[in-house]
Amino acid sequence: MAGLAESGSNPDVDLLYDINGLAKDAPHWFDRIMEFVGEYGLLLGMVLLVLWCWWTVRRRGDDSAASSVAALVWAPLAAGIAVLVNVPIRGFVERPRPFVDHQGLDVLVTGKTDYSFVSDHATLTMAMGVALFVANRRFGLLGIGLALLEGFCRVYMGVHYPTDVVGGFALGTAVALLLSPLAMALLTPVMKAVERSPRAGLLIRARGTARTGRDALIPGSRTERSEERDLAA
């Protein structure tokens, strides 16, 4: 390929041409699908995955519901913080988009005039995926899988170098993990307070789910028998 010859011995650029070259060989309709999936679809899928996990936690309604919901609230917050951290990084590195410096790329999305490193999409999805993994491993693995697919799509679309994507993965993971203890310390008491509310508590546990902690009355327990004696008296 001509692009490979222009890239020299730079493996980052070589891999860019290899992955983006798949777009040239693919049908037009498939490129349009990849364009939507890489630009909007996977971000929407990640949001829906977090909501699905929240719905599952809410319906289960066990003792850890408040802390689990707190971890799920952290997922979008981690993504937002990671993107904010990326703003000065982009301004400092000032790496142009790959199609600016390299010819022959099949660019599926036009109008990208900002800097390339690091990828916002990769940062967002990986931050949410890792934060979701902290809350629930099964859903978190699905989220991380979506993030990896997002990174592939960004290179396939010709708008990012592979190292832009790897940098986004690293940034999103670092923010989600390093700030997770502080976030949980702040969010868990808030979610427990919401749980005690008669109406807002439905956001934490579904109607009809019973608490199994100290506040629950276990049939046949000493507490129940003592209450029955008091009523008889």
pLDDT in tens, 125-152: 999 999 999 989 999 999 999 999 999 9
Residue matched to tokens 């005039």: 113
Tell me the mean pLDDT in the region 155-181: 95
Check residues 77 and 65 and name the one with the higher pLDDT. Answer: 77
Alpha helices in 63-178 (DSSP H): 65-93, 98-101, 120-135, 137-156, 162-178
Q: What is the mean pLDDT of the chain?
A: 84
Element holding 217 (H helix, E strand)? none
pLDDT over threshold 60, residue 215: no
Contacts of 136 (CB under 8 A, 6+ apart): 53, 56, 57, 68, 71
Residue 59 confidence (pLDDT): 84
pLDDT tens readout for residues 28-74: 999 999 999 999 999 999 999 999 999 988 888 777 788 889 999 99
